[in-house]
A and B are shown apart, each in its own frame.
Chain A
Amino acid sequence: MIELVSQDRCVSCGICVRVCPTQVFDNGAKGIPTIARQEDCQTCFMCEAYCPADALYVAPEADRPVQVDEATLVAEGKLGKYRASLGWGTGRRSTAQEDDSFRILALAARAPTAPPQAPAAPTAPGPRP
């Protein structure tokens, strides 16, 4: 769930307030959003993806709040990491163009990991137009 709006980093653009699908944030003092309804957070990380200032941290725990410490998160390089991995932000290229799913799918099609199952043969022919 969302755990942190960095007061130091936030540039009061209001984007997170807008994009959060479950309306977790409210506009706070000086335009810095507040986490107004943390229990509504669906841990989708979209606010992190959109925040231009890497000011938000969504903890991976989806079902309960956890304590976070901004200095530690900064030291571990955890703020803004998702946005970077999408290739979003000035001077970056979308990583969608490095999406290797097609290679993985091709490999999986050639070497199925699950044994082929014997389907129950249909007794009626498939519907014909």
Chain B
Amino acid sequence: MPISAAPVPAPVAKVGDASDALDLVADVLVLGGGPAGTWAAWAAAAAGAKVVLADKGWCGASGATAPSGTGVWHVPPDPVQREEARASRESLGGFLAERLWMDRVLDRTYDNMAQVAAWGYPFPVDEHGQQARRSLQGPEYMRLMRRQVLAAGVRILDHSPALELLKDDYGVAGAAGVERRTGRRWRVQAQAVVIATGGCAFLSKALGCDVLTGDGGLLAAEVGAEFSGMEFSNAYGISPAFASVTKTAFYRYATFYHGDGRVLEGAGSARGRSVIARTLLTEPVYAQLDQAPESLRESLRKSQPNFFLPFDKAGIDPLTQRFPVTMRLEGTVRGTGGIRLVNAECGTGVPGLYAAGDAATRELICGGFTGGGSHNAAWAMSSGYWAGGGAAAHARSLGVNAASRRPIGAGRATLRSAPGSRTLDHAAVVKAVQDEVFPYDRNLFRSTAKLNDSLERLDQLWQAVQDHPEQTARDVVRAREAAAMTATARWMYATARERRETRGMHKHEDFHEQDPAQRRRLVTSGIDRIQVRAESASETSVLAKAAA
């Protein structure tokens, strides 16, 4: 008889004390092992640094890219093609991106993809015998990146989420966390830290995204880092209603339908997503990829095996049969908001702290429009590369010995509650945050009244999330995730409230138009009290600053 594995009660790993902690010293500590983190670790090691990389999951399988795969913003250095590439999302992004940053990213990505090829990634070959480097299959790419990072001498700590940064008078000096399986605490003293923990998708079960709860943002905010573009944090991915696979490229070939078979007018995967969302508020929506040209059908399957996986398993042919769809929140993963960068090395302004990938703002290249489909992957490998190099240079320049520093933990929420405080119910907090950020009629279609209303409740949640959780490894990690999600939601809505217009993915029901006077970025800071200020796009031209 076939047996499903019986659900046996999981052993509960208690969090250990300092006595059996894993204590390491490094030049550079990278938090997160997706594309941004692995490129950062590789670049830092290539620059001669001793590097440790800690990932919440397993570096190689964890994060948004590994199970998904990505189209890449890989454009040959031909002036016409480059100009097309730069212009492609400029207006969609509300003209908040910077051409200098686009150029840098296009150049870096072109070179990094050549490196990926040199490492042996099996790129397809076109009719001229040239490798086509426009996309990367997730499992293959990230398996390769893990190998390269290990070969470069990086020590990887898997299943080891960071819980807080360490700091002293020189700035950020490492991080501490817990190994999930054993509950053993770890602590890495380092001269510089790269935050590459990905975005925040609020545990929506979008493909590969449940490890992405905004942890790095909370860590960075606790040492004073700022954010940019947090109002552009409401990306939703289309998936079959029952499944996790939010791969949206092929929905360009979809017709969307009401339950009775009538075509849903105006619905589309690119500009008609609002129509889908609005309809989903009251009735199910169905899709069929019936516009896919016959000649392409085999190509689709070969290009994204994982797109077809849930359909094959469920016995549905998406090309000839209708299936129900939903839209899952991908938050800042395919939104653009994140940690603000102040220089070309992806420094955050806090000494010793760097940010890369989805943890950092992508406004510099996408403005207020999604970086999904091409820009994000290019940004992850480029910003990771720069942040790793910058962190290694910072470590060299410090002149103090990492081992001799005596940093202390900078984490607060859930970690340092007053004695006698209540035990935190993190699952309840997560649910409450989701209730504020999932609904399309709150997060996708915004209004001042709704934002105020949500913020009031989120501020209360922020008070609640100061308490201690149970001291098991799982609870300690889950509690920090709940805190990070609460903080991210507050930054999102507090910033959205200040953008009184519609721009990029930020759609405001009280202000339907793009307002030329508001063509500026919004910078967000603070944890208990949140502040938002405006800065013009040109004012922040990081390269111009670096050159000055």
Contact = CB atoms under 8 A, between A and B. Distances in A.
Interface of A: 3-7, 18-23, 26, 28, 32-38, 40, 42-46, 49-50, 59-63, 68-71, 78, 81-82, 85-86, 88, 93-105, 107-108, 113-114, 117, 119-120, 122-124, 126-129
Contacts of A50: 61
Contacts of A68: 4
B190 to A, nearest CB: 24
Given A21-B210, A97-B125, A127-B538, 19 more contacts: A6-B2, A19-B60, A20-B61, A23-B159, A26-B8, A28-B8, A34-B8, A35-B5, A43-B205, A43-B207, A60-B311, A78-B312, A100-B298, A100-B303, A103-B299, A105-B71, A124-B519, A128-B538, A129-B547
B10 A102 contact: no
Contacts of A107: 293, 296
Nearest to A49: B139
Interface in B161-210: 180-181, 205, 207-210
Given A42-B208, A129-B100, A99 B302 contact: yes
Interface residues of B, number: 89
Contacts of A82: 305-306, 309
A26 B10 contact: yes
A46 B544 CA distance: 43
Contacts of B62: 21
Interface stretch (B17-25, B107-115, B116-124): B116-124
A82 B7 CA distance: 25
B135 A34 contact: no
Contact of A42 (B58, B137, B209, B538): B209
Given A21-B62, A35-B7, A107-B296, A63 B242 contact: yes
Contacts of A69: 2
A38 B211 CA distance: 15
Contacts of A45: 67, 306, 309
A19 B6 contact: no
Question: Which 6 pairs from chain A and chain B are nearest by CB?
Answer: A70-B2, A21-B57, A119-B91, A127-B538, A60-B310, A100-B299
A97 B123 contact: yes
A5 B140 CA distance: 24
Interface of B: 2-8, 10-11, 56-58, 60-63, 66-67, 71, 90-92, 95, 98-100, 121-126, 132, 134-137, 139-140, 158-159, 180-181, 205, 207-211, 240, 242-244, 249, 252-253, 268, 270-272, 291, 293, 296, 298-300, 302-306, 309-314, 474, 513-514, 516, 519, 536-538, 541, 543-544, 547
B139 to A, nearest CB: 5
B519 A101 contact: no
B279 to A, nearest CB: 18
A36 B91 contact: no
Contact of A102 (B4, B132, B242, B252): B132
Contacts of B8: 26, 28, 34, 36
A101 B135 contact: yes
Contact of B300 (A35, A70, A104, A126): A104
A46 B137 CA distance: 13
Nearest to B240: A60
Contacts of B61: 19-21, 44, 46, 50
